[in-house]
Structure 1
Amino acid sequence: MRLRKTSAVIAAAVAAALSLTACNGEDTSERGAAASAPAETSAGSGSPSSAGATDTTEGSGGGDGQASASASASGAPSASSAGGICRTADLSFSSSGGMAEGEVLINLENTGSASCSMHGFPGLDLTGEDGTVSAERNSGRSVPSVTLAPGERTTFSLYFPPNTSGGSGVTFTSAVVTPPDETRSHTMPLSVNIPAGSGSASRVTVTPVGSGK
């Protein structure tokens, strides 16, 4: 009888131990699951960081766009400094005396907001009640390239035979000036008197822009 009781006690103790081990195993599994939960949270918190990186990249793209715009804007002044064609609307016209009788300087001033350039002969017509004479090009002159900053000016010369005949001659009261490479003209007051006769008109000439004294 004692052996059976002892065996029964041992069996009960083993069963209790096994039951406790099973309970401890379940606790361990639950703790393992709980321990793995923070890892998922960290991964989740990593997602906002990833979105932030995307925003930063987009911000960098915006910065590149500003740099390109700045480069494009900085390229504009270079083009201006190189000199676009001087337009009639951006020029003022005046006249002054030349070095000798029969010469008039025509002054062209850049009144625009950017630099401009001219190269070549201007067009010039003398007009008055007696008619119109178109100035011819004065051959044998070099043709410089002229760049005018805002406020700067250049000149060309108008040559004509002065009327020393003692007669009334032919009088012109205005000049119609067309800058090189332009189609629009400007009419300015200019008094010129040349001898009457067909030969006088052929002696009305202009020099290239930039060659005036």
Structure 2
Amino acid sequence: MRLRKTSAVIAAGVAAALSLAACDGRVDSGASGAAASAPPSTPGSEGAPSGSAAPGATPGPDATEGSGRGDTQASASASSPAPRPPSGDTCRTADLSFSSSGGMAEGEVLINLRNSGSTACSMRGFPGLDLKGEAGTVSAGRSNGRSAPTVRLAPGEGTNFSLHFPPDTGGGSGAVFTSALVTPPNETRSHRMSLSVGVPADPGSAARITVDPVGSGK
């Protein structure tokens, strides 16, 4: 999707709405920049509306800290967190490769995770995902009605999860995100990847950005 510059008035409204959702996370080992800090009860978001100063240091080009944490217990909205995989068996961010592909419907993107390590690993639960752009940062919420299967990956095998968002189909000046921080379930390190997502520039857009559990899709 083509990157568009959000106006100062619209971007301010979007950034205010987007900053409501965030969760904890730490950078991948290749990170070269410091992330913005925030009070424990309300994790901060990197980035700011066009024309205003960012609250923290600019992240490095390869990886950075995300407010979304890929922990099955990260969201207070989850009625009962999914069990963790056995200790020592969890798929680690450093041993995964990340890519994206088109989903089955408009407003859906598949985030693909592949085991690039030398041993089998497993994961279960919701990932963390932060979208970042000129308008600010938004942390995806959890979709409803999806069970979280245990996914076991041999070396070279892959799985995915779906990112859902309200597509910007009005042809107006929407909010454009150009990258994503992805945190696998039960991990604390995030991977930064390029991802183009455009949503309408209204406060209700943030609440409609959600992710499914890993491995629950087609």
Query: Which amino acid in 2 is paired with 1:150?
Result: P
1:160 to 157, 165, 187: 165
Q: Which amino acid aligns with 2:174?
A: G
1:186: Cα distance to partner? 0.2
Q: CA 1:107–1:97 in 2, change beyond 3 Å: closer, same or farther?
A: same
Does residue 206 (structure 1) correspond to residue 207 (structure 2)? The answer is no
Give a deviation string over 1:14-57, Cα, whole Å, max 9, x none: xxxxxxxxxxxxxxxxxxxxxxxxxxxxxxxxxxxxxxxxxxxx
TM superposition score normalised by structure 1: 0.61
Please report how far the alpha carbon of residue 168 of structure 1 lies from its aligned counterpart in structure 2 after TM superposition.
1.9
| CA offset digits 1:139-192 (Å, max 9, x no partner) | 110110000000000000000000012212000000100000000000000000
Distance (whole Å) between structure 1 residues aligned to residue 171 and residue 91 of structure 2:
41
TM-score, with structure 2 as normaliser: 0.59
Q: Which residue of 2 aligns with 1:111?
A: 116
CA–CA separation in structure 2 for the residues paired with 1:200 and 1:130: 12
Secondary structure in 2 aligned to 1:117?
A: strand
In structure 2, how many angstroms separate the alpha carbons of the residues matched to 1:153 and 1:168?
A: 36
Match of 2:138 in 1: 133
* Correspondence 1:197 to 2:202: yes
Q: Which residue of 1 aligns with 2:41?
A: none
Whether 1:151 and 2:156 are equivalent positions in the alignment is yes
Map 1:47-86 onto structure 2 (within 5 A): 84-86=89-91
Whole-angstrom distance in 2 between the partners of 1:109 and 1:164? 32
**Sequence identity (%):** 74
Structure 1's consecutive aligned runs of 4 or more residues displaced over 2 angstroms after TM superposition are none
Contact 1:83 1:117 in 2 (8 A): no
From 182, 185, 197, the equivalent of 1:177 is 182
Contact 1:88 1:178 in 2 (8 A): yes
Gap regions ≥5 residues in structure 1: 1-81
Q: Distance in 1 between matches of 2:88 and 2:165?
A: 32
Task: Report the residue type matching 2:143 in the other structure.
Answer: N
Matched residue type, 2:133: G
Cα distance between partner residues in 1 of 2:162 and 2:88? 23
Pick 1 or 2: higher relative contact order, CA cutoff 8 A, min separation 6. Answer: 2
Encode CA deviations 1:53-80: one digit per residue, 9 max, x unaligned: xxxxxxxxxxxxxxxxxxxxxxxxxxxx
CA distance in 2, matches of 1:195, 1:90: 35
Higher helix share: 1
Q: What is the RMSD computed on CA atoms of the aligned residues? A: 1.5
